Structure 1
Amino acid sequence: MKRCPECRRDYYDDTLLYCLEDGIALVQGSVPVPVSDTDEPATAILHETSAPAEAQTRAQIHTTEQTAILSTGAEAEPQTTLNDSTEKRSFSARRTKPLAAVVVAIAILVGGFFGYRYFSASGSKQINSIAVMPFENRNSDADTDYLSDGLAESVIFRLTQIPDLRVSPTSSVMRYKGKETDVAEIASELGVDAVMTGRLTKRGDNLNITVELVDARTNKSLWGEQYERKLSELLTTQREIVTEIVGKLQIKLSGESEQKLAKKYTDNNEAYQLYLRGQHHLARRSKEDLEKAIDFYQQAIKLDPNFALAYVGMSYAYSSGSGNAFLPFSYEEGISRAKNAAVRAGEIDPNLAEAHTAMGTAFRLEWKWPEAEVALKKALEIDPNNARAHYFYGLFLQSTGRTGDAVREIKMAVDLEPMSLIMQANLAGAYLFDRQSELGLDQAKKTFDLDPTFISGRFWLVYAYCANKKYVEAIELIEKGPGDETNQRLLSRFRGYAYAKSGRRSEAEAVISEYSSDRAYDGANAAIVYGALGEKDKAFAALEKGFARKEDMGRMRVDPLFDDLRDDPRFKDLLRRMNLPE
């Protein structure tokens, strides 16, 4: 038997871990319930059952009471010798009356309790989905954001290891950061049953972390806790929070799920904090942030050489930085480093889906198509609900000409992470590469409207205008965009292409001239503009430069902006040398 130390209620179901009344953890042990205490608990339990339950319980009590009285009566009049006095028999009968009352009271308590357990359980609904909100940074200090954001992201990552629990991804919950939003509203927008909120305050090396888990369907608090911990205990605290959530949601875990949930990616708390800092900067993706991210990942790995997640983060930082020419070495060198980091993560943890996704991405950028497909399929085999794996597999399928399958995969990624702007933007690209031009334009407009400041959203909307031959709209959108170097570099291909298709030849040629002085010279981009101008020899000369540098040219196989070059035999030859199907 177990007992709640708070309300002193006893439970006879040894599988229960927490009190049904106040959520306090039950303790093992049997403590006799005083007779004087039985009336109130019994009454409370009976009042909480449904009407049919009350009728059934009363019937059981009535039968039990009659049985108890008959049984007691038989025991109250045993065979006695002839010299027993009538007084003794009367005293014995009087003594059995309190005993019968005790038996009846216990029967009421036990019957009512199990009636309550049965009908309460049958009427409750299992929580199947949860959103973990970004922790509120009470310091109002940007330098502490890596802790508040990283703690939430770590909890989300852990909970996603539970197959039957749908967890809103980080990309979906981050838009609520810094906003005061009602829990019911959040649950409705994200389509979840429960919401966990938290606050974090850092004072020196001390952390104050407050968390609350709410059933959004009833607005009832399921659990709340306040942790006063040292910064060095952050890793342990994160694991404790996850364990409490799983317990409060009463999730039944398989042996495999328990192992995944209990898995330790690092035991080094300092390495864990450095990893969180790296993740924080990786999400920003500016030149300075990517350089900082790589530095933090390297520091984390130095402290824990077997920290697979840090290698995964570093792989993505190298891939992103190389693609945007942010890093102080060649594109080919950056992709090679990305691949090596991902491969090392897979060696450390072969069952880490993120490692195989990063590996597949690096192999794709190296034009190693079979290896890329094997790695990405392995990631999806390990974690079929991994949105990033579906997303990068979709990009791979585009390069190999399977555009219909690519649309399917990227749509699955968007379904899993509906608030991911990068996935929403690339869904527009998937439609465009599949020659569904109008759908691509509609999707690009939708993404752009979600956040007009998001550069990839602007990129794909300009692209969609070009693919739909709306060159005036494309030029206007480019000119209204941010004027910084990174944004203009990303949009320059479309600016030159739209100028060329609009008959503005000199302006198109001026755009191409910018490439010659740019360290991030992109042969594929120049080729698109040359092709639109009818300068095929110059276009293929530019493509050969891109080929020599192993640029990210895989999607030219299906890119509509290369249609001006597609019928030239040199185009097919280039695809063959890139090991792509014609």
Structure 2
Amino acid sequence: DSVFRYKGRETDAKLVGRQLGVRSIFKARLTQRGDTLDISAELIDVQNDTHIWGQQYNRKLTDIFALQDEIVKEITATLRLRLTGEAEKRLAKRYTANPEAYQDYLKGRYWWNKRTKEGLNKGIEYLQQAVAKDPTYALAYDGLADCYSLLAYYGFVDSKEGYPRAREAALKALEIDDSLAEAHTSLVFVKTFYDWDWAGAERESQRAIELNPRYATAHQWYGDALIQMGRLQEAIAEEKRAVELDPFSLVINRDLGDALYLARQYDQAIEQYRRTLELDPNFITVHGGLGAAYLHKSLYKEGIAEFEKELAISPHSAYALAGLGYANAVTGRRAEAQKLLDQLNQLSKQEYVPAVFRAQIYAGLGEKDQAFEWLEKSYEDRSIANLAEIKVDPQFDPLRSDPRFQDLLRRMNLPQ
């Protein structure tokens, strides 16, 4: 994700190296003519802007995987690197021999990273094409798992529809290759946000990190699981490690902001959200997170403005409507909050709307009975953990002293 942002741009090697915190960068230009690839590749030392290695290739598209091996061997020979047996195996491993399936996989992951309803559905289309072309392509099944999970997490589909599909795809990936860190990580997400199996989520996280310590999403989603459990300092450490591994990932930067916000480190959270918005001012849910941090610092005007920006970016988003509704509720604008509740109710007649979003607004209004009514519905539809960390989220503070809240945590298997 960090490297993909430079795709198609003219870049300065020194600047890129400094931004990524690396000593050398690999640059390549690829031109496809029919089934033929022309590739110009070079390795540059960014400290002194010198050329370490370079080569040009003309290959058939079907030879792309063999070419990858050839380039790796030439670079390691040039640098006189001595790779461990484990590193050699990882570099040599090929998840598919079908170049078209590989391209579909890359396109699927690209759209998955958008985190929008359209992007996730587009990702599923490409990933389904990938597994149709290669039914043994474990990474493509794993990509499907992550798309299905995020459709449910963001409230685009019913949790009871999205997460079981995600689990099935992740288990299929592990059936093909049980050493796939990505697939163990995908199970972490399902166990966290749907099963509420905290021990299972931690076990799968540790296995994923053991298999690939440099897989940023494994640290990110382990952090997300730790947040739900209330282990906030451990969560922040995992999210920071994920940012170190993938410093330009929008969603990983956002999740670090979320962890800081939920730990009530509001100034640090605001700084992190702003840093994320510098990368992309329109990335979903970041303005909402920033707005919530402002509200809890009693910066009400700034908070509402950020939620309004979130809604402007995603005008039909239940998350954005609920966030602005909550902001209006806690700042005493009850009529505006009620209008947004009405909009959510109307939207729910056309598409799935997670019950937890309405609970959020009622909590802001101080209407406890209605808040608990909708929390109970969100417990039943398994949406209660989606975009809501009920154990630690300050938005639910008005409900914490009520015995019904502690009973809810108990039924979610959360420590009280």
On whether the aligned pair clears a TM of 0.5, the verdict is yes
The yes-or-no answer on 1:426 pairing with 2:255 is yes
In structure 1, the partner of 2:393 is 559
Offset from partner CA, 1:173-222 (integer Å, 9 cap, x none): 23333332221222233222212111111222222111111223343322
3-state SS of paired residue (1:236): helix
Residue of structure 1 aligned with 2:225, choices 396, 412, 415: 396
Query: For residues 486 and 409 of structure 1, what CA distance do their matches in structure 2 show?
Result: 32
Aligned-partner Cα distance in 1 for 2:363–2:310: 25
Q: Provide the residue aligned with 1:57 in structure 2.
A: none
Equivalent residue runs for 1:72-83 within 5 Å: none
Q: Distance in 2 between matches of 1:423 and 1:252?
A: 32
CA shift, 1:537, in A, is 1.0
Say which of 451, 458, 465 aligns to 2:294: 465
Change (3 A) 1:438 1:277: closer
Sequence identity percentage = 42
Of the three residues 377, 381, 386, the one matched with 1:549 is: 381
Kept in 2: contact 1:278–1:313 (CA 8 A): yes
Contact 2:28 2:40 in 1 (8 A): yes
In the TM superposition, residue 482 of structure 1 has moved relative to its aligned partner by 5.7
Q: Deviations over 1:538-572 (max 9, x none)?
A: 11111111111101426100000000111111111
Q: 1:202 to 1:417 in 2, by over 3 A?
A: same
Q: 1:371 to 1:467 in 2, by over 3 A?
A: same
Residue matched to 1:257: 87
Cα deviation for residue 440 of structure 1 reads 2.0
2:354 aligns with: 522
Which residue number in structure 2 is paired with residue 495 of structure 1? 324
2:67 to 237, 242, 256: 237
Q: Distance in 1 between matches of 2:47 and 2:95?
A: 34
Partner residue in 2 for 1:363? 191
**Matched residue SS, 1:256:** helix
Q: Deviations over 1:244-275 (max 9, x none)?
A: 22222221012222222212212223322322
**Cα pair 1:187 1:216 within 8 Å, conserved:** yes
Contact 1:324 1:520 in 2 (8 A): no
Residue 284 of structure 1 aligns to a residue whose secondary structure is coil
User: Structure 1 residue 488: deviation in Å?
Assistant: 4.4
Look up the equivalent residue of 1:457 and give its one-letter code. V
Counterpart-to-counterpart distance in 1, 2:379 and 2:395: 18
**In 2: Cα distance, 1:417 partner to 1:200 partner:** 24
Q: What's 1:87 paired with?
A: none
Return closer, same or farther for 1:388/1:563 CA change in 2, 3 Å cut-off: same
Query: 1:425 touches 1:444 (CA, 8 Å); kept in 2?
Result: yes
SS of 2:372 mapped into structure 1: helix
SS in 1 for 2:282: coil
From the superposition, tell whether residues 487 and 465 of structure 1 become closer, same or farther in structure 2 (CA, over 3 Å).
Answer: farther
Report the CA distance between 1:516 and its aligned residue: 1.8
Render the CA deviation track for 1:333-385: whole Å, top value 9, x for unaligned.
Answer: 21111111112212222222111111111111212222111111111112222
* Superposition map of 1:479-490 within 5 A: 479-481=308-310, 483=312, 485=314, 488-490=317-319
Residue 295 of structure 1 aligns with which residue? 125
Deviates more, 1:208-217 or 1:539-548: 208-217
Q: How far apart are residue 481 of structure 1 and its match?
A: 4.6
CA distance in structure 2 between the partners assigned to 1:532 and 1:361 by the alignment = 28
Aligned length: 410
Contact 1:422/1:456 (8 A) holds in 2: no
Deviation (angstroms), 1:464: 0.9
Q: CA deviation at 1:536?
A: 0.9
What is the deviation of 1:398? Answer: 0.8
Per the alignment, residue 534 of structure 1 pairs with 366
* 1-structure distance, mates of 2:322, 2:297: 16
1:506 is matched with which residue? 335
TM-score normalised by structure 1 residue count: 0.67
2:26 and 2:402 map into 1 onto residues whose CA distance is: 58
Aligned match for 2:25, one of 170, 182, 195: 195
Code of the residue aligned with 2:87 in structure 1: it is S
**2:378 partner letter:** G
CA distance 1:257–1:174, shift in 2 (3 Å):
closer
Q: The residue matched to 1:564 in structure 2 has which SS?
A: helix
In 1: Cα distance, 2:160 partner to 2:62 partner: 39
Give the whole-Å Cα distance in 2 for the aligned partners of 1:289 and 1:261. 30
How many angstroms apart in 1 are the aligned matches of 2:49 and 2:329? Answer: 59
1:325–1:532: structure 2 CA closer, same or farther, 3 Å change rule?
closer
Show the counterpart of 1:8: none
CA distance in 1, matches of 2:133, 2:278: 44
Alpha-carbon separation, structure 2, partners of 1:176 and 1:256: 29
Give the partner amino acid of 1:444: Y
User: Are the counterparts in 2 of residues 432 and 467 from structure 1 also a CA contact under 8 Å?
Assistant: no
Q: What are the residue-to-residue correspondences of 1:21-60 with 2, within 5 Å?
A: none
Distance in 1 (alpha carbons) for counterparts of 2:127 and 2:268: 40
Residue deviations 1:202-243 (CA, integer Å, cap 9, x gap): 222222111111223343322222222222222322332223
Superposed CA deviations along residues 394-428 of structure 1, whole A, max 9, x for unmatched, are 11001111111111111111122222222222212
* Runs of at least 5 residues in structure 1 that lack an aligned partner in the other structure: 1-170
After TM superposition, the structure 1 stretch with the greater mean CA deviation from structure 2, 479-488 or 234-243, is: 479-488
- Choose from 102, 106, 116 the match for 1:272: 102
Asked if 2 retains the 8 angstrom alpha-carbon contact of 1:393 and 1:409, the reply is yes
1:571 aligned to which of 394, 405, 409: 405
Indicate yes or no: 2:20 matched with 1:186: no
Cα gap change, 1:469 to 1:525, in 2 (>3 Å): farther
Q: Is the 8 A contact 2:318 2:344 kept in 1?
A: no
- Aligned partner of 1:223 in structure 2 is 53
Distance 1:498 1:228, change over 3 A: same
Shift in alpha-carbon separation, 1:514–1:339, aligned structure 2, 3 A: same
- The separation in 1 between residues aligned to 2:4 and 2:130, in whole angstroms, is 25
* AA at the equivalent of 1:512: L
Larger Rg: 1
1:486 Cα deviation after fit: 5.6
Indicate the SS of the match to 1:455: coil
Partner letter of residue 564 of structure 1? P
